[in-house]
Amino acid sequence: MVLMVCTAAAIVAYIPVGVIASKIGRKLTILIGILMLGVSFTAGIFFHEVSPLLYIFFAFAGFGWAFINVNSYPMVVELSQGSDVGKYTGYYYTVSMTAQIITPIVSGFLMGHVGYRTLFPYAAFFVFASFVTMLFVKHGDAKPSAKKGLEALDVDD
């Protein structure tokens, strides 16, 4: 049920997040999403049983995930040149799928040998590590296109 709350929150946030990203940029939107996800996972460390507050943190995590998810692939496309889109898409999905293969193995090992209490610290650590790596991204925000012809004379009210 808790994960359904997370997923529902993400679905509700997808369109508004696109609007937010068009105003403040993809990189900043992703950084905000990473912080939201990190705060949620860090808060999860302190829960020993399911409570209504946990649902709120998981909804917050869903919003954070939407902030990241909506903007990550478009940023990859913006970072690549027309002829390299396929290559960078391949890199993006290779790394993403590799993480999805390795994480269940490593986190399962930790949960089996240390305990379930390792899940949230594990997730928080890697979310904050992604924040650090995102700080090194220098490009990838959409560039406003120049207006041409009569469209250039149009003035917004």
pLDDT higher than 60, residue 125: yes
What is the pTM assigned to this prediction? 0.83
Q: Please state which of the ranges 29-33, 48-52, 80-84, 138-142 shows the lowest mean pLDDT.
A: 138-142
Residue of 134, 110, 151 whose CA lies nearest to 27: 134
pLDDT at 89: 92
Q: Is the dihedral of CA 91, 97, 100, 101 positive or negative?
A: negative
Q: What's the chain's average pLDDT?
A: 89
With cut-offs at 50, 70 and 90, classify the pLDDT of residue 50: confident
In the chain, what are the domain boundaries?
A: 2-140
Mean pLDDT of 42-51: 91
Q: What tens digit of pLDDT does each residue of 72-104 get?
A: 999 988 888 888 999 999 999 999 999 999 999
The CATH number given to 2-140 is: 1.20.1250.20
Mean pLDDT of 43-54: 91
Q: What tens digit of pLDDT does each residue of 62-78 get?
A: 999 999 999 999 998 88
Burial letters 51-68, b for 16+ CB under 10 A, else e:
eeebbebbbbbbbbbbbb
